[in-house]
Amino acid sequence: MTKENWTHYKQTNRTIILNVVNSAPVNNNINNDPQTDNKSMWNSIKLIIDSTKLTLNCNNYKSTKKTIGSLLRTSQIIQHEDQWKINNINKYINERNDNLVHNQKRMINSILDRKPQRIHLDRLQYTDLITKDLKFTNDPKIIEQQTIQHFQLLGQTRTDVDNIPVCNNISELPPYWQPLYQPIQHKHKHQMI
């Protein structure tokens, strides 16, 4: 089969299938009645025969039967896919509407297409002070110790913190801080609360 024949064949089958799908009766068989299913199937087959303008004779019976069967299966698959897409669209619309009322955070994350990020505090990467090696741990005691150390240092190195002078009296403080730490000379009633 040449490339032109193959393109023509694909376009013809696609047109036939879409015509059948668009004009096929909707199957509202709630009770799963086999008789209703058969009527729907025969109506689809009739539509396929009418739309393809096939002539049925003894010479082309098997090939026509095979063509009709393949077109029917394809049309049923397309119908199921369309129904599945519609159901999914409705499901996500209802879910978003429900989130609008009950869970605004999830709705905003969905609209902005972002995934919630979480901080995991059950494991830690730290540098051992003795060996200077990078280590991982999930021991709660070490995690607590490292957390306390981190907040005591506030982004500084241990040597910077150790070099901070220790003040034993107010006069050793920098001049800016001295008035704040001076004891109150006289107490007024409005200052005492």
At 101-136, the pLDDT tens digits run 898 888 888 888 888 777 776 788 888 878 888 998
* Mean residue pLDDT across the chain: 75
User: If you ran DSSP here, which 8-state letter would residue 134 be given?
Assistant: E
The reported pLDDT for the residue numbered 192 is 59
The reported pLDDT for the residue numbered 31 is 47
Interatomic CA distance for residues 84 and 63, integer angstroms: 32
Q: Which residue has the tokens 């668009």?
A: 22
Alpha-carbon distances of 18 from 45, 48, 113, 134, 161, rounded to whole Å: 14, 10, 34, 64, 76
- pLDDT per position as a tens digit, 59-106: 777 777 787 777 777 777 777 888 889 999 999 889 888 888 898 888
Q: What is the pTM of this model?
A: 0.34
Higher pLDDT, 49 or 110: 110
Interatomic CA distance for residues 94 and 99, integer angstroms: 9
The reported pLDDT for the residue numbered 54 is 61
